[in-house]
Structures are given as structure tokens and as C-alpha cells.
């Protein structure tokens, strides 16, 4: 509010604190350095220039400003638009880095879902037994796969059951 940092930088402080992998942290640091802000400022500047040309032509049609034809202005605007589109695409990547790629381990009871989770975590996080229906609660844990946080979700095996507890799980 005091103009010390803008929204992109404020957001990156939070991202930095919550970063789950080194790569996620690096992205946050870059954003804190103002990478995103510079991109957005540049785009805004280019849109303003197009707007200024349009307004000059409306307000002072008698002045011959540098020949900015509709075609040229349109091309310029479309270039900005495509850059905005590109930026929006990277927003998805950013979200994956920030929140992790939600990955459910799904399958019939007793096929080794919890064992797979434990193996990837290299930790005995989930209870493993030879009794089908061991896992009942959803278990979530993050693993780092080449810098991308994978949010692994171990689930209860899918089967028809008369077991009161399992039937209530969704």
C-alpha cells in the first residue's frame, strides 16, 4: 500500500516461504527480484502506446502524426495479446510448482498402493499389511521429483463392501 513492493513481489514472498522444492524457491526468488513485474510493466507500456496513438488520431485528426495505420496498431496489439497468452500459460506451471502436482494412487485393495507411497517417500508413512482395506483415510505427502513437488495421495482401495467404516468413505 505504501508502494514499497507490488502485488507480484508480495505474492512471491509467500511463495518463497511455502516453497516445497529448490526449484519452486528459485522461481519465487526471481519473482521477488521483479522479473514478473518487469514483464507486466513492459506489456502495459506497449498497450499504452497503442492507446495513445488511437486517442491522438481521434482527438487531432487534422494532425498527421507518424503514419500509424489501423493495420499497424492492430498488429502491435495482437503481439501484446499473444505475449499475455504466453504468460498465462506459464501460470499453470507456476501453480504446479507452488502447490504441487496432485497425484492420487488409485487401485483395488491390497495391490500395494501404500507400499508405493512409502517407497517413494523412503519412509514408513502409511500402514502396510496383507489385509485388504488397510488404508481408510486419505494420506497426503509431498515428494520432490526433479524440482517438481508431487503431492502424492494414498487412497483406500476401491471395492464393494459391507464394512460400515469403509462404506462411509468418499
Residue 125 CB, shortest distance to ligand GTP, in Å, is 11
Residue 118 CB, shortest distance to ligand GTP, in Å, is 7
Measured from the Cβ of residue 22, the count of other Cβ atoms closer than 10 Å reads 10
Angle between helices 35-59 and 7-18 (to 10 degrees): 160
Q: Where are the beta strands (DSSP E) in the chain?
A: 101-105, 139-145, 148-154
Interface pattern 81-120 for ligand GTP (x via CB under 6 A): ----------------------------xxxxxxx-----
Q: How far is CA 125 from CA 120, 152, 170, in A?
A: 10, 12, 21
Residue 145 CB, shortest distance to Mg ion, in Å, is 21
Binders in 145-164 for ligand GTP, by CB under 6 A? 156-157
End-to-end CA distance of the chain: 44
Among 6, 10, 123, 132, binds ligand GTP (CB under 6 A): 132
133 vs 147, which CB is nearer to ligand GTP?
133
Are the CB atoms for 39 and 23 separated by under 8 Å?
no
- Contact flag: residue 118 with Mg ion (CB under 5 A): no
How many residues sit in the footprint of ligand GTP (CB under 6 A)? Answer: 16
* Binding interface with ligand GTP (CB under 6 A): 109-115, 128-130, 132-135, 156-157
Amino acid at each position: 500500500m505504501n508502494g514499497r513492493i507490488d502485488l507480484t513481489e508480495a505474492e512471491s514472498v509467500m511463495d518463497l516461504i511455502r516453497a516445497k522444492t529448490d526449484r519452486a524457491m528459485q522461481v519465487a526468488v526471481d519473482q521477488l527480484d521483479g522479473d514478473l513485474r518487469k514483464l507486466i510493466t513492459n506489456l502495459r507500456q506497449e498497450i499504452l502506446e497503442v492507446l495513445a496513438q488511437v486517442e491522438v488520431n481521434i482527438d487531432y485528426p487534422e494532425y498527421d502524426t507518424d503514419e500509424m495505420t489501423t493495420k499497424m496498431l492492430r498488429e502491435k496489439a495482437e503481439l501484446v495479446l499473444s505475449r499475455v497468452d504466453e504468460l498465462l500459460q506459464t501460470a499453470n506451471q507456476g501453480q504446479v510448482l507452488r502447490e504441487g502436482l496432485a497425484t492420487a494412487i488409485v487401485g483395488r485393495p491390497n495391490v500395494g498402493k501404500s507400499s508405493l507411497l512409502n517407497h517413494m517417500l523412503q519412509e514408513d508413512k502409511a500402514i502396510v499389511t496383507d489385509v485388504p482395506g488397510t488404508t481408510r483415510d486419505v494420506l497426503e505427502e509431498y515428494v520432490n521429483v526433479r524440482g517438481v513437488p508431487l503431492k502424492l495421495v494414498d487412497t483406500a482401495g476401491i471395492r464393494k463392501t459391507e464394512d460400515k467404516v469403509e462404506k462411509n468413505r468418499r
